[in-house]
Structure 1
Amino acid sequence: MKETMELIQKLVSIHSPSGNTNKIISFIEEYIKDWQVEKKRNHKGGLIITVRGNDDTKHRLLTAHVDTLGAMVKEIKANGRLKLSMIGGFRWNAVEGEYCEIETASGKTYSGTILMHQTSVHVYKDAGKRERNDENIEVRIDERVHSAEEVRALGIEVGDFVSFDPRVQRTESGYIKSRHLDDKASVAILLQLINRIQKEHITLPYTTHFLISNNEEIGYGGNSNIPGETVEYVAVDMGAIGDGQMSDEYTVSICAKDSSGPYHYGLRKHLVQLAQDNQIEYKVDIYPYYGSDASAAIRAGFDVKHGLIGPGIDASHAFERTHETSLKHTENLLYHYIQSPLVEE
């Protein structure tokens, strides 16, 4: 798991909010440049990696998304601070106090901090009671600016992307904690899986595509570029942890249902059987406020068996954390899945 953890650390350190993912896709292209695989970008900017199998008439597709939560400059305030518009589904309290980076259209970057306007308790008596919302949250830029004109002179403008500091850290006890483990942990797992196929000279039973999706957080990352031969489509994304959930940070999560409805029952049972047969620790779970690239593909009308698995991630869409054992079990389940027969039922 050391290599997987190191790769996750590299991936989360590259800013890639939905809509601005070219840098990280380019990083992955460079990372796999010597691998004996087919690869191409789709028009949306995602990356499709293909490993040919014995049967080229029936395909599998696995996907994980490299895009993350973030924000855009909504307004440049008269006092030289910035109002934001969210990219993706999170709450303002999850990023309050976070360091951030503003990237201008020319590519120049500036650092800043996301704060409540009424932060100072020495000035605002009700600082702790004010609502964390679009009106009160702002960015304090680390430049000597006191007006909208001075901010614009830096090159900052409405529509510029704002990325959150990942604060990635690995612990001796086997945890990795960082923003954007959703879903860069899964991207690292897929890349490690492809690399393992190469190193072990494995010939897959079916041609298998790996889609590095780049618009999942806004709902449509993996709903296109699905070859017509695709029979099974598995999204690799986080298992959500909380009250009433089965998922944890130490097993692979297999999703039975999310807000889009049930996942394919036969495929789910197949994944559970593979886990049981190979001593892979797993949990079956339901995520009430969740959608994946696999469910997006179903909504787009693709006739595929769809599934969802992934490592358990604590505090999703905030300060996330998982353990190396969850990554290991997820990687092992995928390793056995891509070598298994197609689901018949």
Structure 2
Amino acid sequence: MTASVPTPKMLPIDEEWMRELLLKLLLIPSPTGRTDQIMHCLGEVLTDLDIPFELTRRGALLATLRGQRHSPSRAVVVHSDTIGMAVRRLKANGRLQVVPIGTHSARFSEGARVTIFTDDPQVSYSGTVLPLKASGHAYDDEVDTQGVGWDHVEVRVDEPVYSAADLAELGIQVGDFVAHHALPEITPNGYVKSRHLDDKAGVAAALAAFKAVRDAKVDIPVTARLLITIAEEVGHGASHGLHADVAEMVSIDSAVVAPVQESVETGVTVAMQDMTGPFDFHLTRKLLAVCAEHGLEHRRDVFHHYRSDVAAAIEAGAEMRAALIGFGTDATHGHERTTMSAIRSVAELTALYLQSDLTFADWDTTRLGTLEDFPSEEQPAPAQQTVESSGQA
């Protein structure tokens, strides 16, 4: 049997530190495939926090906060990459046709300020995503009746370019990355408006939670890994980078706020299921119980058109319990908005979770066990059912 673990306590979150980190991350472009700069930034943050880390060959980051028991460990997973675009074609009119990186609608890129990155790290260009018919003075009502989609927009480059040859002369090529400007703003009443809150707000919350544990000098019962992935927006996510001894994982990401969802912008959401299936029964209910015990505003939700780092890890064969928590975000993958209270709530829940033991401290220490040891009594049994007779012999 494992030793008793002190009851987790609410730790103070350094909200000003978290806020400044969030703004810093939002100003670093990091579409999937171009994440080196933001990983250097995160490495510097972890170095300042005196939390050791390693990087995978592809550039994902795995930090470690040692606990009383080093193996098996647990993991908190966030992603540093964002949606973006790439150059598909240099157009004859001197503009760029683009394709999306990650899943998002061209509708929410119309009017976006962007940066076009060339292969020369010293050379980039500013531009704007525009519909093909961008002026009512020129096209009248056609600006309202034209189609919506990636074939109906183009990037206007802020240079004197009027042909494909002019673009090539600048060094712009097919496949170059195009990043949306985040344009972050935090209002006096705590609303956070920006592109790419998914998942930079999650990264800020996770790091604030690890900082809170470190600052409070809490001797956590189980070693905690912080995995920061680099390709969640294209479905790879936590498919690599996790240690084999990780027994359970909590992913932090945006929670979808919309009239057809249950998430709210002011608290933490515990996802019960996404498009890949239900999350772990026991771990999700443990997180809900922690929220209730400590008075954290929380909601349960189910996401129909959503997947996260969890799905990539499970599909890659990870043998672990998995759950997803999120900060309520309106207009995900569009003109996103959340609140500082939601981000703080996620950080508080994460810090409480890090102070707890594994969901089943004895059973989860091994990958295989006997039926007698399997903790099935923790899952409520179904109501007793009877078989009705058909009246036939």
State the TM-score, normalizing by the size of structure 2. 0.86
Question: Is 1:159 matched up with 2:175?
Answer: yes
Contact 2:227 2:242 (8 Å CA) reproduced: no
1:119 paired residue number: 134
Contact 2:119 2:176 (8 Å CA) reproduced: yes
- 1:195 offset after TM fit, Å? 1.6
- 1:236 offset after TM fit, Å? 0.5
Unaligned runs of 5+ in 2: 1-14, 361-374, 376-393
> Which secondary structure state, in structure 2, belongs to the residue aligned with residue 32 of structure 1?
helix
1:307 paired residue number: 323
Contact 2:210 2:351 (8 Å CA) reproduced: no
Q: Which moved more, 1:18-27 or 1:37-46?
A: 37-46
Unaligned runs of 5+ in 1: none
1:227 paired residue number: 243
Question: Is 1:169 matched up with 2:211?
Answer: no
Question: Is 1:245 matched up with 2:256?
Answer: no
Give the counterpart of 1:86 among 100, 109, 114: 100
Contact 1:80 1:151 (8 Å CA) reproduced: yes
- 1:282 offset after TM fit, Å? 0.4
The one-letter amino acid of 2:131's match is M
Question: Is 1:143 matched up with 2:156?
Answer: no
2:7 paired residue number: none
The one-letter amino acid of 1:262's match is P
What does the per-residue CA deviation read over 1:72-105, in whole Å, with 9 as the maximum and x for residues that have no partner? 0000001110000100111001110111000001
What does the per-residue CA deviation read over 1:29-48, in whole Å, with 9 as the maximum and x for residues that have no partner? 11222333221111221111
Q: Percent identity?
A: 34
- 1:57 offset after TM fit, Å? 1.7
What does the per-residue CA deviation read over 1:93-135, in whole Å, with 9 as the maximum and x for residues that have no partner? 1110111000001121100000011111122241211112222
Contact 1:22 1:45 (8 Å CA) reproduced: yes
Measured in 1, the distance between the counterparts of 2:18 and 2:326 equals 14
Measured in 1, the distance between the counterparts of 2:54 and 2:344 equals 28
Measured in 2, the distance between the counterparts of 1:214 and 1:248 equals 27
> Which secondary structure state, in structure 1, belongs to the residue aligned with residue 237 of structure 2?
coil
- 1:202 offset after TM fit, Å? 1.5
Give the counterpart of 1:38 among 52, 74, 86: 52
Measured in 1, the distance between the counterparts of 2:151 and 2:337 equals 30
The one-letter amino acid of 1:253's match is T
- 1:196 offset after TM fit, Å? 1.6
Structure with higher helix content: 2
Q: Which runs of 4+ in 1 moved over 4 A?
A: none
Larger radius of gyration: 2
Measured in 2, the distance between the counterparts of 1:145 and 1:226 equals 46
The one-letter amino acid of 1:115's match is L
1:273 paired residue number: 289
Question: Is 1:287 matched up with 2:312?
Answer: no
Give the counterpart of 2:79 among 41, 53, 65: 65
Measured in 2, the distance between the counterparts of 1:292 and 1:34 equals 28
- 1:265 offset after TM fit, Å? 0.5
Measured in 2, the distance between the counterparts of 1:262 and 1:295 equals 10
The one-letter amino acid of 2:58's match is K
Could you say what the CA RMSD is over the residues aligned between the two structures, in angstroms?
A: 1.0
Contact 1:5 1:176 (8 Å CA) reproduced: no
Count of equivalent residues: 345
> Which secondary structure state, in structure 1, belongs to the residue aligned with residue 136 of structure 2?
coil
Measured in 1, the distance between the counterparts of 2:132 and 2:241 equals 44
